[in-house]
Structure 1
């Protein structure tokens, strides 16, 4: 039986409208200057994350490049990719890949708020359950977060509003983060 996805879609649309409306209203305060030829790349920043965890017969590698466009000193919007590979010898392996959209708002230089929509494909393989068991699925996350920023580094936390402990790839709806842009 197929689960009714309308309530989930309605929640996503409601949250996007809820967070996008103040951004649109505040963006009307001061008109943006018209871009000159070649000026586009002066507003683009690249960054993302890299993770590596090694242990006794355990490996976790994550690569997550991101690019954002700074509309002004307060608003930025961007996109990113994500790939993770996790292995526990003779027990479990997982490949996760996908992308995200991110909106950033900094009311003052030291504070950054974010809204992030993430869609990833998860491919898990369990080898310690009396044979090989595979499970593949798509996972959607809608994160709201905030943090302290200094230069191109932001340290903070985010909350997955679509978290479902029975389906989600993350162990908790609450996640700390370090975001770096150059």
Structure 2
């Protein structure tokens, strides 16, 4: 895994620095992410996931993300930290194909029982783009393991906003 991250970073840096010098780097960077709140009968969920991407051209972008999720229901508490590598391909302006590698670090507590573990997720997705800033769609975790994942399904919705 460390070799994959190193090679990905090296490749990304070489592509970025090979761009023509007449364009400003920061003109091609977009920041965004997601935020979520959920409240129910004796339950609370809070999630935040900022990210940044670099648009190499109108069709291709790479980026990094981080995340935190807190969930509590009764005696059950869940703290999840994550880091991710993002890649987006837009074959036409309205369609976005994505591949996201995410490493999740989970700290669970159920009464006096504590459990700490980490696991990877590799999402492949498709979304409809509204302008350059908003994408709405679905993604599928090809590494999904129901015994390990904190999610109930390999399929999850996508709502991305970048500025």
TM-score of the superposed pair, with normalisation by structure 1? 0.77
Instruction: Please give the residue correspondences for 1:156-171 in structure 2 after superposition, counting only pairs within 5 Å.
Output: 156-171=137-152
Query: d(CA) in 2 for partners of 1:181 and 1:35?
Result: 24
Per-residue CA distance 1:15-63 (angstroms, 9 max, x = gap):
xxxxxxxxxxxx9xxxx861337x0000000000000001222110000
Please tell me whether the aligned partners of residues 139 and 169 of structure 1 are also in contact (alpha carbons under 8 angstroms): no
Tell me if 1:105 matches 2:86.
no
Query: d(CA) in 2 for partners of 1:102 and 1:109?
Result: 18
Larger Rg: 1
Task: Choose between structure 1 and 2: higher strand proportion.
Answer: 2
Equivalent residue in structure 1 for 2:115, among 108, 115, 135:
135
Equivalent residue in structure 2 for 1:35, among 21, 28, 32:
21
Tell me if 1:122 matches 2:103.
no
Which residue is 1:5 aligned to? none
Poorly superposed stretches of 4+, deviation over 6 Å: none
How many residues align? The count is 148
TM-score of the superposed pair, with normalisation by structure 2? 0.86
Please, which runs of 5 or more residues in structure 2 have no aligned partner? Answer: 5-14
Tell me if 1:61 matches 2:46.
yes
Which residue is 1:179 aligned to? 160
Query: d(CA) in 2 for partners of 1:35 and 1:94?
Result: 46
Equivalent residue in structure 1 for 2:59, among 74, 86, 97:
74
